[in-house]
Amino acid sequence: MKHLLRLADLPITEINRILDCAQAAKTGIYDDSETKRIVANLFFEPSTRTQYSFNTAELKLGCKVINFNAASSSLQKGETFYDTVKTFESFGIDAVVIRDRKDRYYLDLIDRIHIPILNGGDGKMDHPTQSLLDLLTIREEFNHFDGLKIAIVGDIAHSRVAHTNIEVMQRLGMQCYISGPEEYQDAQYDSIDFDQAVETMDVIMLLRVQHERHDQAMSISVEHYHQQYGLTMERVAKMKPHAIILHPAPFNRGVEIADDVVECEKSRIFKQINNGVYVRMAVLKRAWESD
Ligand code: NCD
């Protein structure tokens, strides 16, 4: 069995193997005979795409699925995170997909839970399947990673998407920059002025301001954010001809992205969502491979 906890643990060969498997699934080559497997999706934080994309991937593979509802569970009676996961293991579940607001929540589980754990996002740290679907979308577009330039724009400091992507994209030879409001930047990464990024990058990845992770309200207004760092059609017109726009979603229209940019010709946002299903099929199949 194989967990999927953080991409930093995986060599590039393994990442490419997962992407190849996802690509094959996308062309219709996949085994849908996992009918004896039961997968539980344990989301302790809100999710639309990741949870139901995993759900779709599980159904495409033939699995049976349990979607845990934290709000109506015994968590409300004081049961712990660990005891909840241990309960699902005891049911005889074949894999768990977990999202939790705690950074590296899986450290409390890995020695004590003996079924594959697929990380659907941990706090501000990692979001491996989001990054894999971003990589698949970039690879489909450009057929390579080496030398591509990406700017990730917005709330970098609180974003597991940014952290996961920058680590793996740098290993793949991409040049990664960050941009956006000063209060959300991270000094460990190279930063670039937003308007300069718009004109020079191959990929612009926008992020939502993750208010639920903040101790203080954003210091600038939504209008100011949109004017300074929002991707508008005027800015899109200045992007390189082949450049593309990514966003992990949920997006806030009129803040980091203008309404008409969401589905513009350069946007690959809904393609990312589609690719997420195939990436999750690939990591589920991988979870049941022997070590
Ligand atoms: C992201 C997340 O939850 O980290 N969303 C997602 O999984 N597609 C980004 C976000 O919530 O802004």
What percent of the chain is predicted at pLDDT more than 70?
A: 100
Which CATH code is given to the segment(s) 7-123+276-287? 3.40.50.1370
Count of alpha carbons within 13 angstroms of residue 286, beta-carbon side: 24
pLDDT at 192: 98
Q: 111 by DSSP, 3-state: which?
A: coil
CATH class belonging to 128-273: alpha beta
pLDDT tens by residue, 74-100: 999 999 999 999 999 999 999 999 999
Answer yes or no: is pLDDT of 215 > 90. Answer: no
Contact 140, 117 (CB under 8 A): no
CB within 6 Å of ligand 1 — which residues? 49-50, 121, 127, 130, 160-161, 208, 210, 248-249
- Per-residue pLDDT tens over the stretch 168-194: 999 999 999 999 999 999 999 999 999
Same topology between domain 7-123+276-287 and domain 128-273:
yes
Atom of ligand 1 lying closest to residue 208 CA: 12
For the chain, the structural domain boundaries read: 7-123+276-287, 128-273
Contact 248, 120 (CB under 8 A): no
Q: What is the mean pLDDT of residues 140-146?
A: 98
Residue 195 neighbours by CB under 8 Å, 6+ apart: 235, 238
Q: What is the mean pLDDT of residues 113-118?
A: 98
Specify the pLDDT at position 137: 99
104 has a pLDDT exceeding 90 = yes
Tens digit of each residue's pLDDT (9 = 90 or more) over 144-169: 999 999 999 999 999 999 999 999 99
Nearest to 204 by CA among 231, 167, 166: 231
Top mutation candidate among 41, 44, 50 for ligand 1, by most atoms within 8 Å of CB: 50
Nearest CA to ligand 1 atom 1: 248
